[in-house]
A and B are shown apart, each in its own frame.
Chain A
Amino acid sequence: GDSVTQMEGPVTLSEEAFLTINCTYTATGYPSLFWYVQYPGEGLQLLLKATKADDKGSNKGFEATYRKETTSFHLEKGSVQVSDSAVYFCALSDRAAGNKLTFGGGTRVLVKP
């Protein structure tokens, strides 16, 4: 079945540092890929998405490129802020199964001033 693996946290960074969160996936079809962010005590917010190979999703300074050859969708941000402290989830959508989402385990990011 489908699966998503992302790097374990916590990831602790200083403000203005470069952030990378690795995400790889296994899927039988051609999924769409997503990054969601969860702030403490809240639900998930869609951060960005990509629907086909070589697509780049971007939002709020975050970027991720759909790499079919390496089955990866790594999240990057060039200069993090304290407000980026959250848990980040990589996910894939299975079109053949009603678009249900399969999530990675989440990566907690803590940005210190």
Chain B
Amino acid sequence: NAGVMQNPRHLVRRRGQEARLRCSPMKGHSHVYWYRQLPEEGLKFMVYLQKENIIDESGMPKERFSAEFPKEGPSILRIQQVVRGDSAAYFCASSGGEETQYFGPGTRLLVL
């Protein structure tokens, strides 16, 4: 049973470009969470989605960031016009609705 998949594992963008991060939850899971880990820091909640719905986006920056979890396909975290401060590891986690979340390997974004 495959775990949570994220791609790409590493992403390099220049300032002003767009970054698109993908997350495929564990089979049977319909709840997806995104977290951001800045260098040498803990993880911070960004957004919680269920299929086709954003449930809680209280941790998302108000501008440039968006997330979706369509009926078919992976969840996408999109960062427009990236800046150097967006450099971080972005982790996706999924659950079947219970409390325990299972994490993917993360996408490490580097903005030049």
User: Is A49 in contact with chain B by the CB < 8 A criterion?
Assistant: yes
Q: Decide if B99 touches A32 in the complex (CB within 8 Å).
A: yes
**Residues of B in contact with A, size category:** 20 to 34
User: Is B44 in contact with chain A by the CB < 8 A criterion?
Assistant: yes
**Residues of A in contact with B, size category:** 20 to 34
Q: Decide if B103 touches A98 in the complex (CB within 8 Å).
A: no
Q: Decide if B43 touches A103 in the complex (CB within 8 Å).
A: yes
Q: Decide if B101 touches A42 in the complex (CB within 8 Å).
A: no
Q: How far is the CB of A62 from chain B (nearest CB, A)?
A: 16
| 8 Å CB interface, B53-112 against A | 55-56, 59, 91, 93, 95, 98-106
Q: Decide if A98 touches B101 in the complex (CB within 8 Å).
A: no
| 8 Å CB interface, B10-33 against A | 31, 33
Contacts of A32 in B (CB 8 A): 99
User: Is A65 in contact with chain B by the CB < 8 A criterion?
Assistant: no
Hey, what's the 0/1 contact readout for B34-55 against A, CB within 8 Å counting as 1? 0100000111110010000001
User: Is A99 in contact with chain B by the CB < 8 A criterion?
Assistant: yes
The 7 closest A-B pairs by CB, nearest first: A103-B42, A44-B103, A43-B103, A43-B105, A105-B42, A103-B43, A93-B99
Q: Could you name 30 residue pairs across A and B whose Cβ atoms are closer than 8 Å?
A: A42-B105, A43-B4, A43-B6, A43-B91, A43-B106, A44-B43, A44-B93, A45-B103, A49-B99, A49-B100, A51-B99, A93-B99, A93-B101, A95-B99, A97-B56, A98-B31, A98-B48, A98-B55, A99-B31, A99-B98, A99-B99, A99-B101, A100-B45, A100-B59, A101-B43, A101-B93, A103-B35, A103-B42, A104-B42, A106-B42
